[in-house]
Every structure is written in structure tokens, then in C-alpha cells.
Amino acid sequence: MNDTLTSDVVGRRVSVNGECATVRFYGTVPPVAGLWLGVEWDKSREGKHDGSHEGTVYFKCSHPTGGSFIRPHKANFGVDFLTALRDRYEDEPEDDAKKQIVTIGNIPVETIGFGSVIKKQSQLSELRDISLRSCAVSCAGDKGDIASTCPNIRVVNLSQNLLSAWEEVTGIAEQLRHLEVLDLSENKLRFPPGSPAPIGTFSALKVLVLNRTGVTWAEVLHCAQGWPALEELYLKSNNISISERPADVLQLVRLLDLSSNQSIDENQLFLIAYLPRLERLILGDVGISSLHFPDAGAGCKTAMFPSLQSLVLDDNRISQWSFINELDKLQSLHSLSCLRNPLTVGSGAKTHLQFIIAKIGQLRTLNRCEIRPEERRGAELDYRKAFGKEWKEAGGHQDPDQDRPSAAFLAAHPRYQALCRKYGAPEDGELKTQQPFLLKNQLLTLKINCPDHPDQNALEKQLPDSMTIQKVKGLLSRLLKVPVSDLLLAYESPKMPGREIELENDQQSLQFYSVENGDSLLVRW
């Protein structure tokens, strides 16, 4: 094959001793005799220079040590799709086969052709889900061969191969009419400047993974004309900047992963804010630090991202509460992950997570943990108490006719008035500065009632607010002569008459559940 190499080899992908690179040059490099390939390595540590030799620039690299010259016979230019498929599925000895699970997007796929699966799908024509990851696939092969050999494939993992052009991808896809899931991650692809793939090539495609392919946003929108049924799109680590609003494309997309694209900011996000079906947006490690929806004031809902239910903001630069306030403007947001941000790390992290719960009223999941009703109630009561003094100083008042907090306070705490309507305005006694090192200032006077045992006299006890539910049960077990394992605890507050809050986590404290002076413990067995 090396004798037939021509200048059009430039741009092709190769593998050399297991490491991938892109050919940037083919020709002579005087004074050394013979032909050379100049390659730019995917991993710059494999290179030696920037494409120059003895003062002459033969090609350019994005990294100053990302290039090398190699002899053509050392480069593996890959194989066609069917050759890789047969090597993986047809020729593997059954004794050596093993079942493997790979994940494409969010979908776990059993790679067929390993272990027991080879018995069920020994014929290539029966294959449905396949993984050809790292199989040196570089092209589609002869036209029509794929369609006649394995026409029923629906899920394909082609990640980390030697595909260099989108045209080769379409050459494969147009022969797989049932293709629903396609992973092309870590193929450095050139995308066509001209017409997109013929209509129908990707007509069934629902999930497309283009992580680390070098695709631009303009190329995504151009090619998306050929993805009419696409529901999930993964674009991680492509240095993408969102340059224009999708027009008549990506209209069915429910999940969009833009993580690790460091150029994205809030203004770019507004360009995708009206995708009508977008339910999950992944923005981990994009460097975002600010957010403001210009169409909605404090306490109002934005028209942007109308269907967005889940938002991932891990590993960013969020340090201001104003960012969290803006998230409460999203109409449908139920799930938020904001791990490893300045606002959610450090000594105050636990308190800050409680404040996030209080600030975003419709949130059901935070950092992949369900928010239980009693946790929300505790977070909102703590938030209401924590900023009660500031609220009063800003013009807040227990009397609704005199309650006029300043615009500045309402901008900083958009949900505070709603919390006052929900739980009542904070009373003066709640706003007194706590003295946490004095035990008397941490004692709660509680009534203890046994509603299922009317013959049992009501008790009154003073208990530290830091006392765990487990220790409370131990105390009540001794008082009532009932085994700890039989006790079920709840409490009710005069502020919420007729509603019981279960104390179901033995490791949490009374303070965690926002139990206050004058509340009643309800004991059942």
C-alpha cells in the first residue's frame, strides 16, 4: 500500500504503535533520502517538534512538540468497516469470547460477539448492537457491502478509530437504515463545507456522540439538517463556541452535552434557549460564572429553556448567589448538579446546599440526591431564620400592611416573601442572635404526646437541638418502657397545624428537622 501513497494521504488518520495521529505532510525531507510522513499526534507528548526541520517548515502543529516525521511503512492507515466487523465478531474463538458492556451516551450496550452472545448472533446479518471501538476503522469500504452483510444494526460504537472525514461516516450510515445510536468520539473528523448527507441517511438516528472530534458549532448545525429524529447530542471537549441559533434543526433534541467546552458563556447559552424539547443540559467544566435572564425580573419565570428539567453545572466558577437566584426563574427545572464550584465547597458547603434548596422552589434533586419533603422544609425554615434580621432591617414586618422590604433585599432573596407566606413571617424571638456555646441557648422545650395511647400522660422535656433522633428514641424508650426498635417519631408545629413531619432518619438531629421551641413530639409504637 505504501507504494501507492499519493499527496491526498494528507489529512488521513493513522495509528503508529497504538497511538493515533493525523497526516499533515507527505514527501521528502532533505537531506535524508526517501519519502516521509509528517504527523501531528493526538497526544502531543508523542511528538518531537512543530513540523519544522533544519529551519524549513513542512507542516504546522497546534502544539510546539506535537509533530514527528515517520516512514510510511510504520503507519497503519486502518481497515474498512466490514473487515473490522468480521475480525471482531466472525473470527473470534468462542472459548476466548467475553461479554462486555460499553456506554454510548446514556445507553449501556452489550457488545455482541463475546461469550454467550456469539451463540445467539453468530450470523452478521442478525447483529443489532456492535462495538468496534479502537478497531482502526478508517472507511466504509465497497458501496453496498455493509447493507448486504449486516443490514439490521441499530447501535454502533465507532469511537477511537481512524475515520478522518464525515463523508466516510455517511458512507457507513447510509447502508444502516435502522441506525439509532452512533458513537464517533475521538475520531478527528473533517466536516463537509457543502451539502449535508443525502436525505434519509440518518433518518432513524436518535443518539449521536461527537465528543473530542474537533467539530464546530457551525458544522453541527450544517450537518444537523440530516438528523431529523435526533434526541440526544453529545459534544464534549470540542472547544465549541455557540455562534448562532439553531434554525429548523435540533428541534427534537432532549439532551445536549456541551461539557468541557471552555469558550461557552451565558450569552452563547441564550442562542439555544428556545430549543422546544430540551430537557437536560450538561454544562460541566465550561467555565461559566454568571447568568442573568433578561426577560424576567426577580421572582418571575423566564420564557427561555421552557422544557429544561435537568441542569448539570459541575466544575465551574459559580461563586455568587445571584446565579442560583436566576435558576429559580426556569419554569421546569427539577434537577440540579453543581458540584465543585466555589459556592459549594469549603467550610460552609453544607449550609450553602441548604440555601440552594431554599432558593429554588421546584427543585427535587440536588447533586444527584433526592430532596425529601422534611429536608426542604428544614432548609426553607433555616433560610427564613438566617436572613430574618436582614429582612426586618430592610423594611420587612410581621404585619402585612407594614411589610415593605427594600428592592435590594428582594433582588438578593427573591423567594423570601414566598417563604414568609408559606411558614409565616419570622417572629422577633427567632431573630435574636444565637449564643451557640451556651447549652441553655440550645435547649428546646418540647411536648411529648402518644396519640395512639390516650392513657399515657403528656410529658414536657427540654432537649438539645443537636440531639439525634436515635438518642431521642433512647430517652423515650426509658421513659415509656418501650423497645427502641418499636418507636416511630414525628412532630407537629403550631405554625403548621394539622401536619405531621416524620423523623425517619435516626442519624439526623432535631435541628436538621427544624424542630423548635413549643413543638410537639408524637410518639407511636
Distance CA 187, CA 325 (A): 40
Query: Would you kindly state where each structural domain of the chain is located, as residue ranges?
Result: 12-74, 79-91+115-347+364-369, 374-423, 443-524
Question: What whole-number percentage of the chain has pLDDT above 70?
Answer: 91
For residue 507, the model assigns a pLDDT of 84
Residue 384 CB coordination number (10 Å): 23
Distance CA 430, CA 391 (A): 12
C-alpha cell at 254: 432532549
The residue assigned the cell 509533530 is 67
- When pLDDT is averaged across residues 473-485 and rounded to a whole number, the result is 90
For residue 401, the model assigns a pLDDT of 92
DSSP 43-91: SGGG--BSSEETTEE----SSTT-EEEE-GGG-B--EEHHHHHIIIIIS
Q: Which of 155, 149, 147 is nearest to 129 (CA)?
A: 155
Residue 515 banded pLDDT, cuts 50, 70, 90 = confident
Residue 435 reports pLDDT greater than 60:
no
Question: What whole-number percentage of the chain has pLDDT above 90?
Answer: 73
For residue 183, the model assigns a pLDDT of 98
Write out pLDDT tens, residues 486-498. Answer: 999 999 988 778 7
* 64-78, 111-125, 148-162, 458-472: least confidently modelled range: 111-125
Q: Which has the higher per-residue pLDDT, 106 or 93?
A: 106
Intra-chain end-to-end CA distance of the chain, in Å: 82
For residue 473, the model assigns a pLDDT of 92
Write out pLDDT tens, residues 224-244. Answer: 999 999 999 999 999 999 999
Q: Which has the higher per-residue pLDDT, 284 or 122?
A: 284
Q: What average pLDDT does the chain have?
A: 90
Specify the CATH superfamily of domain 12-74: CAP Gly-rich-like domain (2.30.30.190)
Bridge partners, residue 449, by sequence: 522
Tell me the CATH class for 443-524: alpha beta
- When pLDDT is averaged across residues 313-329 and rounded to a whole number, the result is 97
Residue 128 reports pLDDT greater than 90:
yes
C-alpha cell at 102: 460499553
Residue 111 banded pLDDT, cuts 50, 70, 90 = low
The alpha helices in 309-415, defined as continuous H runs, are 321-327, 349-359, 373-386, 388-393, 407-412
Give residues with Cβ within 8 angstroms of 378, minimum separation 6.
354, 512, 513, 514
For residue 99, the model assigns a pLDDT of 57
Distance CA 507, CA 524 (A): 19
CATH of 79-91+115-347+364-369, one of 3.10.310.40, 3.30.9.30, 3.80.10.10, 3.20.20.70: 3.80.10.10
Q: Which has the higher per-residue pLDDT, 308 or 92?
A: 308
